[in-house]
Amino acid sequence: MSTNLPIPPKTTSIPARNATNDNLFAAVDIGTNSFKLLIVRADPSTGRFLAVDRFKERVLLGLDTTTTTTTSATISTASLLRATTALRNFQKLLQSRRVPSSHSRFVATSAVREASNQSQFLQSIDETLGLKVDVLSGLEEARLIYQGILQFHPVHDRTVLTIDIGGGSTEFVIGKEGNILFSISLALGHVTLAQKFPQVTEMREHIKFIIRASGLKEKVKLYDIDNVIGSSGTILGILRRRFSMAMQVHVECIFEENKRDWSFTADELKGLVEMLSKEERSGGKVRKQSFFKKSLKFVVAGAVLLEEIFEELKLEEMEVSGYALGEGVIAEKLGEAFDNYDPRANARWRSIVRLGTRFNNKQRMKSAALCFSVAKEMFDGLKNRHELGNGSDGFVVSVEDKDLEFLEAACLLQKIGLCVGKKGYHKQSYHIIMNGDHLHGYNDTEVKLIALLVRHHRKKLPEYDDVVPDELTEEMRGKFRILCAILRVSAAVEKLQLANIDNVEFSHTCEGYKLVLEAGNLPFPGNELPSVEDFEAELGAELEHFRMVFLERLSIAVTSSTSA
């Protein structure tokens, strides 16, 4: 059973020692401040990916560089040792998780790019660890950051200005439909600025000079920008600080607050810079630890840099991406590995997961994962049988792979209305989906279909002629009928709270369809498994609804994976 869920299913099998996991991909970002390892699990049928491991090593590669000329610096021996240790740790992690070597890429950015001893650094890493590192040009780094942002934000069709602040440089990209319209890399990074300019006033003057000399402002004016999106740890840190300054916990505020939870305004940024500068002058809460004092200086430098960028480019608000360079490297790897890779699929899915995790706690997300496990097996079984010409007349229309995406969305979002209360929560879930502009990359009809599935996953059975509005086409009405029948059974099974479902099988016999749930650690009274009759008594309405739609009977059974 392949679930492709935000919560990976439990597995009981152990791969062979030398086997590789062909669905795992990895990217290593060798930055000026930190080295980052990202490992993702990809769905080969869609190209969507989910981060399964993230690791970060604070190497500070550019911290103790020694200047050799007026324009370049040398990576010190101490920095090389820290880099080698971090990369050796990453290498061991990749090997322990059996990531194929062809599915990983190591990339270096500003600190290595600008180093006078770049070749010696790369040679040492190769000889010591056997690793090949690609040194990205500023333009290539900017392009990959843009590709990473497209995996997080559904802005493929919009003209977007992306800004990524690193330790040694800041990348600016204007892109649309996956193409780069303009890009530039400026030698402005939060680590180098903090080192060179102890005084904020001098730092600001230097930033202004570099931006104005680059002609960036004039270039940006040539384009009609739809969205401004920031990425990297510096900008994510600013977003977190914004949350801590203006946290809203009241129920009546939750909808308004969540409309812009991944953004901040120029005024919010200004207030944050003032707060950080004051904290730095007072020594901060971690005054006794010199390392963290340095870290605070970096944070202040990054915030000041971003504030000057806002001022020079006359920006009013910035959205924030949780993805950046690492995800861009992953996306490029997936494009090489999968023929039918859809670069937009991940951004659509991310908007579903973001909405689900925003209103659901961890337990409800696990329940949603179980619901989709059941729904996917039923969907695949019914679809395959219909395509082979053996399906019943219940399929008034054909379903496609994208319809499974709608079903998955409904599974993940069915309980978000519980944030208001248990009574009628399915109706509240419907209103959140329809009124919040939360789902991105879907057209109005597709959003309506997802919302209707959520609205009718429980309680009163849908009367299709009444509940499906005229704005849906006849084809979409047919899809709703099929997907709703599947979802209602899946949601009803999940509601029974069966423990530790290890496998789901959906098949067809001469007696009709059969859904078998294989579970371990069964906490049933007397350790007895529920019978087919037990399910029919508990889920009678949903099973009858399934029979009405697909014109065949469905029976459900549970088996124990621990029994002889």
Tens-place pLDDT, residues 443-476: 889 999 999 999 999 988 887 666 666 667 888 8
The torsion region of residue 408 among left (phi > 0), alpha (psi -120 to 50) and beta comes to: alpha
Q: What is the pLDDT of residue 563?
A: 52
Structural class in CATH, domain 344-385+396-560: mainly alpha
Q: What is the pLDDT of residue 293?
A: 46
Tell me if 324 sits within 8 A of 232, measured CB to CB.
Answer: yes
pLDDT in tens, 2-14: 333 333 333 333 3
Residue among 488, 490, 493, 468 nearest 479 (CA): 468
pLDDT in tens, 8-53: 333 333 344 455 678 899 999 999 889 999 999 888 777 788 888 8
Structure tokens, 248: 């809203």
CA–CA gap between residue 7 and residue 367 (Å, rounded): 10
Q: What is the pLDDT of residue 397?
A: 73
Confidence grade of residue 522 (pLDDT, cut at 50, 70, 90): low
pLDDT in tens, 150-174: 998 888 889 999 999 988 899 999 9
Q: What is the pLDDT of residue 223?
A: 97
Mean pLDDT of 523-535: 64
pLDDT in tens, 133-153: 999 998 899 999 999 999 988
Instruction: Tell me which H or E stretch contains 25.
Output: strand 24-30
Q: What is the pLDDT of residue 261?
A: 61
For 192, residues 6+ apart whose C-beta sits below 8 A from its C-beta are 32, 62, 167, 168
Q: What is the pLDDT of residue 562?
A: 57
Residues of the chain with CATH 3.30.420.150: 153-322
> What DSSP designation does 69 have?
S
Strand 554-560 to strand 512-519: parallel, antiparallel, or no bridges (unpaired)? parallel
Structure tokens, 457: 């996953």
> H-type helices in 442-531, by residue range?
444-455, 464-467, 474-495
Q: What is the mean pLDDT of the chain?
A: 83
136 phi, psi to nearest 5 deg: -85, 140
CA–CA gap between residue 332 and residue 40 (Å, rounded): 13
> What DSSP designation does 115 have?
B
Mean pLDDT of 500-519: 85
Structural class in CATH, domain 153-322: alpha beta
Q: What is the pLDDT of residue 19?
A: 59
Tell me if 372 sits within 8 A of 411, measured CB to CB.
Answer: yes
Looking at the DSSP bridge assignments, the partners of residue 161 are 174, 228
pLDDT in tens, 217-256: 999 999 999 999 999 888 887 777 765 554 433 333 333 3
| Collapsed DSSP state (helix, strand, coil) of residue 556 | strand
pLDDT in tens, 533-558: 777 778 888 999 999 999 999 998 88
DSSP output for 336-403? HH-TT--TTHHHHHHHHHHHHHHHS-HHHHHHHHHHHHHHHHHHHHHHHHHHTT---TT-SS---HHH
> Higher model confidence: residue 99 or residue 398?
99
For 350, residues 6+ apart whose C-beta sits below 8 A from its C-beta are 151, 152
Mean pLDDT of 279-288: 56
> Higher model confidence: residue 70 or residue 214?
214
Residues of the chain with CATH 1.10.3210.10: 344-385+396-560
Full 3-state SS string of 116-132: CCHHHHHHHHHHHHCCC
Mean pLDDT of 186-213: 94
Give the dihedral sign, CA 355/43/50/496. positive
Q: What is the pLDDT of residue 144?
A: 95
pLDDT in tens, 107-129: 999 999 999 999 999 999 999 99
Residue among 403, 330, 327 nearest 23 (CA): 330
Tell me if 472 sits within 8 A of 483, measured CB to CB.
Answer: no
Q: What is the pLDDT of residue 1?
A: 40
E strands of 82-231, at which residues? 104-108, 133-135, 160-165, 170-176, 179-186, 227-231
Give the dihedral sign, CA 79/81/85/91. positive
> Higher model confidence: residue 384 or residue 241?
384
pLDDT in tens, 76-110: 999 999 999 999 999 999 999 999 999 999 999 99
- pLDDT > 90 fraction of the chain, expressed in percent and rounded: 48
Q: What is the pLDDT of residue 463?
A: 77
Tell me if 251 sits within 8 A of 343, measured CB to CB.
Answer: no
CA–CA gap between residue 171 and residue 162 (Å, rounded): 8
> What DSSP designation does 153 have?
S
Among the four given CATH numbers 2.60.200.20, 3.40.228.10, 3.30.420.40, 3.30.300.90, the one describing domain 21-137? 3.30.420.40
Mean pLDDT of 391-404: 73
> Higher model confidence: residue 252 or residue 427?
427
Residues of the chain with CATH 3.30.420.40: 21-137
| Collapsed DSSP state (helix, strand, coil) of residue 507 | strand
Residue type, 323: Y
Give CA separation, 445 vs 128, 414, 557, in Å: 56, 18, 36
